[in-house]
Chains A and B, each alone.
Chain A
Amino acid sequence: MATLDEKIEVREGVDKETVETVRSMAGKYKYGWETDIEMEFAPKGLNEEIVRLISEKNEEPEWLTEWRLNAYRRWVQMEEPDWAMVDYPKIDYQEQYYYAKPKSLTKRPKSLDEVDPKLLETYEKLGIPLREQMILAGVEGAEAAPAEGRRVAVDAVFDSVSVGTTFKVELEKAGVIFCSISEAVREHPELVRKYLGSVVPPTDNFFATLNSAVFSDGSFVYVPPGVRCPMELSTYFRINAENTGQFERTLIIADKGSYVSYLEGCTAPRRDTHQLHAAVVELIALEDAEIKYSTVQNWYPGDEEGKGGIYNFVTKRADCRGARSKVMWTQVETGSAVTWKYPSCILRGEGSVGEFYSIAITNNYQQADTGTKMIHLGRNTRSRIVSKGISAGHAQNTYRGLVSIHPKAANSRNYTQCDSLLIGDKCGAHTVPYIEVSNTSSRVEHEATTSKVDEDQLFYCRQRGMNEEEAVALVVNGFCREVLQALPMEFAMEAQQLVAISLEGSVG
């Protein structure tokens, strides 16, 4: 049916978008349309048969089917966690579809040329042209960027399946494996079997266990020793079908001395009902490897009355196994009705480093409970947490984090800063940090502040001719600077716009 807003054109660069979005899409969720495409669904509800069916659809080996079934059996006995500061009606897990796949993908397309044009169009409209020019170039301030822009390889996931992955050949030349996880299970079973569930075990928590049972697709990355991945890798997740949960699983392995930067984006149509998204992301960094993982989470947040929106219950964890390995999580959380997400680092390797930069913006009736865990196990490990929470409308925004320094993690360091900003008197901003220090040679520092937008700063901006909303956006952008600077350039500009959009209407 394509309820496309004709005003939006497929963008070529982000800069046009920036202007356009801020001007014409004020406060609206611009990815709220849906693609009219014939889908194949597994029957509604969840039971062992569905788990088997998903496994079968993905042509999985026996061990993985068993792995899923074990997770399912465990999940049935688990209770949904209720400790987060989020409030939502009980989810009926039998009222969901656990598998949805565009019919046109029944026969696996060999290359992007064979992919249903409707799907390609969907991604183009989302600003992700899969076909050829994967150049999410220069954005605003393109002057400073290299002339040909930077290239990004994309894995596009539509509901339960991967549509296609770009730049595969070029990546293969460098030895990098980048494909959907279902493909990886078929092509690289030894790697998948070795690492899948090794960071987030199938029994980890309610949502991760559910994911382990029903995950349908996601991305797989393996960067061989000593290789610096020649381009940014990216996955774009799109929920399209109604009443369908998305359960993607991402597994990234950076072998010794390698480097990879991975971007993740996500959107969903505007609907009155809630939809469930329960993903698991596992990162493994071996000796001297570095993984940079950036997310712009822009799932449909629900409308002004809090109707609809995605329940985003995600388990993300990195295992810094090797000495001197490094993982950097950066997230910009603006979407979802409810967010429950704590990207974490297990700092096992001596001298390993974990970083977490987050901006979480909630407006209207959104609720976010997000933060990180830094588990220091190895000596000389370091971690840094910078979290900015912005709450407007009737929203609730919670930072929840754990810094744990084990007795053997001598000479470790942590620095945590979490700031909250409240816009309006109907919202809430909360901070729930846990700090556990078990040796004397380590140093842990934690700071948190909560404040409102500074009147003097607003006054200053308004004096110079800005209207109030522009002024707030500028001040808020300043407040988020430290985090925005940590994002890859492709995301930074978009994130800045998102900051402006999400706060639209929150003043006055």
Chain B
Amino acid sequence: MVAVAKLTPQKIAATEARLEGATLPEGAGWARAAREAALERLRATGLPARRDEYWRYTKPEPLYELPAPRAAVFDAGGEAPVFGEIDRVKLVFVDGVFDPDASDEPSLAGVEIARLSEVTQADIHWAKDLFGVLEARGQSPVPRPLAALNTALAPDGVVIRVTGKAEKPVSLIYLHRDESSDAMLHHLVRLEPGAELTLLENGPAAARFNKVLEVDVADGARFHHVRAQGRDHERLAATHIFARLGQESTFKSFTLTANGRLTRNETVVEFTGDDAVAHVAGAAVGDGDFHHDDTIFITHGAERCESRQVFKKVLRGGAMGVFQGKILVKPGAQKTDGYQISQALLLDEGSAFRAKPELEIYADDVACSHGSTTGAIDETLLFYLRARGIPLEEARGLLILAFLAEAIEEIEDEALAADITARLEAWIRRHRRAG
């Protein structure tokens, strides 16, 4: 039913050009098989091209063409890094390479932490049932070739198995030091029944970053994810989250994006057990040649599940925001509650927003809705605040923050929500109009 982009000779050429000289990372038989299968998936669809319906609003070529475009390293000066005040287990990657010296000892009660490059050497490992598995499931009905490319070639990543309730978050920090780095990481997270984990991610990672996170949330488990994509203005990123949700499980993911020349964040969630909850949210603030694309695909394959997508974008100076969200309710997924909102605030001329909020529903006893709005700051509200003595720029800042609030509210942890709010306030302050 969905028109899949044709594999054209140009696509084959682009795909082979990307793969030329690339070698699959060393690993045990199962890992090699997973990578080869991914390569096959990639060759079956080819890398994306601008004419693909799924890439209608975002140019895919810069996300994979070789060599990667250079990106200047951003100097944050004395600014405190995000999550700095949060007690967490830190794992640091510099331009996609693990830095053991900068990282904490990976020990946390109820949590096993390893590296992909290590576990893929073992002949027997639980990761076999997850590595590339959710990514492969997520290739239908819409192919995600950049994720298949990642499974095939990503040399490293973090592999986490959670058996209990993690006391503190695991925090992945991605530093960018090399202007021409082209990094790929592939993370696996498995939450056993009833387990709980909060995963934090922050930093620009590289000049170009391709990341896949596969998350298997077993029955009754809870997974929280908060990330802040780095401020390096010239960086490029293509990220994928593939989540499978068991019965009565919870998955909550929030992403803050401030800056970045090109970002495509795809989140693919599949409900396989009844009564589960998935919330995917994002706040993006961008200026100038900022291009930010949130692409979400939620498949309801079980009964009484709840999904929420809340995406807010504040755009100025020619920035472009994209939202492609889809709720697919399979036959029999009765009592589904699906909600989706995408909103853009355009602060000045030249900025633009593209939205494609889709519903595809094959069950009758469901309540699904989506809303999308685009506009400028409400002049009436601005007037109201100014009439009460609040200076113009401060009033604008308040209204921008109020606009973003619904997305930030999706973060359960108050300290994390406060940290994210502080980042947004800083962005608003930095971008105050002169005078």
Contact = CB atoms under 8 A, between A and B. Distances in A.
Interface string B364-382: 1111111111111000000
Contacts of B366: 422, 450-452
B118 interface: no
A434 B364 contact: no
* Interface residues of chain A: helix, strand, loop or mixed (majority): strand
B359 A448 contact: yes
A407 interface: yes
Contact of B1 (A87, A420, A423, A449): A87
B373 A444 contact: yes
B384 to A, nearest CB: 18
Interface in A51-101: 82-83, 85, 87
Interface in A410-438: 420, 422-438
Given A425-B331, A443-B375, A444-B375, A437 B363 contact: no
B354 interface: yes
A450 B356 contact: no
B434 interface: no
A436 B358 contact: no
A440 B321 CA distance: 13
A41 to B, nearest CB: 35
Contact of B368 (A82, A85, A449): A449
A428, A443, A449, A450, most chain B CB atoms within 10 A: A450
B93 to A, nearest CB: 37
B361 A422 contact: yes
Given A87-B1, A430-B358, A439 B363 contact: no
A438 B361 contact: no
A447 interface: yes
B373 A446 contact: yes
Contacts of B349: 407, 439-441
Contact of A431 (B2, B359, B364): B359
A445 interface: yes
Interface residues of B, number: 39
A439 B334 CA distance: 40
A448 B357 contact: yes
A449 B369 CA distance: 4
A440 B371 contact: no
A442 interface: yes
B355 interface: yes
Contacts of B368: 449-451
Given A85-B1, A424-B364, A428-B361, A436 B371 contact: no
Contact of B359 (A82, A436, A438, A450): A450
B22 interface: no
A55 to B, nearest CB: 34
Contacts of B373: 443-446
Contacts of A427: 362, 364
B3 interface: yes
Given A87-B1, A436-B352, A442-B374, A423 B346 contact: no
A183 to B, nearest CB: 40
A452 B364 contact: yes
Contacts of B372: 433, 435, 444-446
Nearest to A438: B352
B426 to A, nearest CB: 23
B54 to A, nearest CB: 12
Contacts of A436: 352-355
Given A83-B53, A447-B369, A447-B371, A440 B360 contact: no
Contact of B358 (A83, A420, A425, A432): A432
Given A422-B363, A448-B359, A452-B364, A431 B370 contact: yes
A448 B352 CA distance: 22
B347 interface: yes
B47 to A, nearest CB: 21
Given A425-B364, A439-B349, A440-B347, A433 B357 contact: yes
Interface in A444-475: 444-452
B344 interface: yes
Interface string B321-351: 0000000000110100000000010111111
Contacts of B359: 420, 429-431, 448, 450
Contacts of A422: 361, 363-364, 366
Contact of A440 (B332, B334, B362, B376): B376
A364 B309 CA distance: 33
A83, A407, A432, A435, most chain B CB atoms within 10 A: A435
B346 A437 contact: yes
Given A87-B1, A437-B346, A444-B375, A425 B363 contact: yes
A293 to B, nearest CB: 27
A85 to B, nearest CB: 5
Contacts of A433: 355-358, 372
Contact of A452 (B352, B358, B365): B365
Nearest to A450: B368
Interface in A367-421: 407, 420
Nearest to A83: B3
A39 B46 CA distance: 52
Contacts of B367: 449-451
Given A433-B356, A445-B373, A450-B369, A440 B364 contact: no
A436 B348 CA distance: 16
Interface string B45-72: 0000000010000000000000000000
Contacts of A448: 357, 359, 369-371
B5 to A, nearest CB: 10
A340 B371 CA distance: 25
A370 to B, nearest CB: 15
Nearest to A413: B375
A85 B376 CA distance: 34
A350 to B, nearest CB: 18
A201 B142 CA distance: 32
Contacts of A435: 353-357, 372, 374
Nearest to B336: A450
Nearest to A448: B370
Contacts of B355: 433-436, 446
Interface in B288-343: 331-332, 334
Contact of B361 (A407, A429, A441, A446): A429
A306 to B, nearest CB: 16
A448 B338 CA distance: 11
Nearest to B334: A425
A282 B323 CA distance: 33
17 contacts: A425-B331, A427-B362, A428-B360, A430-B358, A431-B358, A433-B358, A433-B372, A440-B346, A440-B375, A441-B376, A443-B374, A443-B376, A444-B375, A448-B370, A449-B367, A449-B369, A450-B359
Nearest 6 pairs between A and B by C-beta?
A422-B364, A440-B346, A443-B375, A435-B355, A437-B374, A431-B359
Given A428-B361, A437-B346, 7 more contacts: A437-B374, A441-B376, A443-B375, A449-B367, A450-B368, A451-B367, A452-B364
